[in-house]
Amino acid sequence: MSRHIVITGASSGIGAACARAFHAQGDRLSLGARRVERLPEVVPEAFCHALDVTDRDSVEGFVAAAIAANGPIDVLVNNAGLARGTEKIAEGTGEAWREMIETNVLGLLEVTRRVLPHMIENGGGHVVVIGSIAGHKAYVGGGVYCGSKRALQPICEAIRMETLGRNVRVTSVDPGMVDTEFSLVRFSGDRERAQKVYEGTRPLVADDVADCVLFAANRPQHVNLDTIVVMPTDQANPYMVHRAPQQ
């Protein structure tokens, strides 16, 4: 029996990979993103709707439209998020920080608080959060991004406790370096700088993370994977990466 899967930030990267993975096993999809024009290219059969997680009206409209199109939500994949710049705390202007916190933390909360009551009313569901190794280990120039990702850990823990006995599962999937548009966004479109992040090493790709999401979502209903940390073999933590010598 197919499930209704809702994915935020589904226009590229991990969100798009999750959409393709769930679609391949026959699930119904509701995809949201700011770049809504990209969504039909991800999964043509999916229900697609504009979504800006930092805008309450946009979130409310997206969730209502998704339920109207595909019925009760079985799995919510909170993927929308970003890093912006590498400002040190003493050198920051605050604008990039505000964007990251509003997207990564408040945006996730705005979506989740609208979906959870429906899950509880309908007898259960699964909330998946795409976190980051940055939520476990800080690094220079990433303090606010790391803080926004670490905030997701107690949020997930609280949801687990608050919904205990309601058949709601909560999983945080926390990857290390993934070769997506992440660095391109972080460096405001500087493609050369973004590519250097992955030079000489073997990062994860979006499908690797989607495999983890799918594995967690496909466990029997009595099994909850609280946290999955998935790293490239060539990465030990955010600042220790093995790179092959340049020829």
List the chain pLDDT tens, one digit each, 247 residues: 899 999 999 999 999 999 999 999 999 999 999 999 999 999 999 999 999 999 999 999 999 999 999 999 999 999 999 999 999 999 988 889 999 999 999 999 999 999 999 999 999 999 999 999 999 999 999 999 999 999 999 999 999 999 999 999 999 999 999 999 888 888 888 899 989 899 999 999 999 999 999 999 999 999 999 999 999 999 999 989 999 987 6
Q: Tally Cβ neighbours within 10 Å of residue 207.
A: 15
Strand 75-78 vs strand 227-230: parallel, antiparallel, or unpaired? unpaired
Report if residue 247 sits inside a domain: no
Report if residue 242 sits inside a domain: no
State the DSSP string of 84-145. Answer: -----GGG--SHHHHHHHIIIIIIHHHHHHHHHHHHHHTT-EEEEEE--GGGTS--TT-HHH
What do you get for the CA distance between the two ends of the chain, in Å? 52
Report if residue 39 sits inside a domain: yes
Report yes or no: 93 and 144 within 8 Å, Cβ to Cβ. Answer: no
Dihedral sign for Cα atoms in the order 136, 106, 191, 94: negative
Report if residue 232 sits inside a domain: yes
Report if residue 136 sits inside a domain: yes
Judge whether 239 counts as a catalytic residue.
no
- The span from the CA of 188 to the CA of 204, in Å, is 22
Determine the structural domain holding residue 176 and report its residue range.
Answer: 4-237
Q: Which of 147, 139, 153 is nearest to 235 (CA)?
A: 139
Report yes or no: 29 and 5 within 8 Å, Cβ to Cβ. Answer: yes
- The span from the CA of 214 to the CA of 218, in Å, is 6
CATH number at residue 29: 3.40.50.720
Report if residue 243 sits inside a domain: no
Report yes or no: 8 and 15 within 8 Å, Cβ to Cβ. Answer: yes
Residues in the chain: 247
Query: Helix axis angle, 152-162 relative to 143-150, nearest 10°?
Result: 10
Q: What pLDDT score does 42 carry? A: 97
Report yes or no: 131 and 172 within 8 Å, Cβ to Cβ. Answer: yes
Q: Which of 151, 150, 171 is nearest to 160 (CA)?
A: 171
Show the tokens assigned to 52.
């800006």
- Tally of structural domains, the chain: 1
Report if residue 246 sits inside a domain: no
Strand 235-237 vs strand 240-241: parallel, antiparallel, or unpaired? antiparallel
Sheet holding 227-230, edge to edge: 47-50, 28-33, 4-8, 75-78, 125-130, 168-175, 227-230
Look at residue 30 and give its three-state secondary structure: strand
Report if residue 200 sits inside a domain: yes
Q: Which of 139, 145, 198, 239 is catalytic?
A: 145
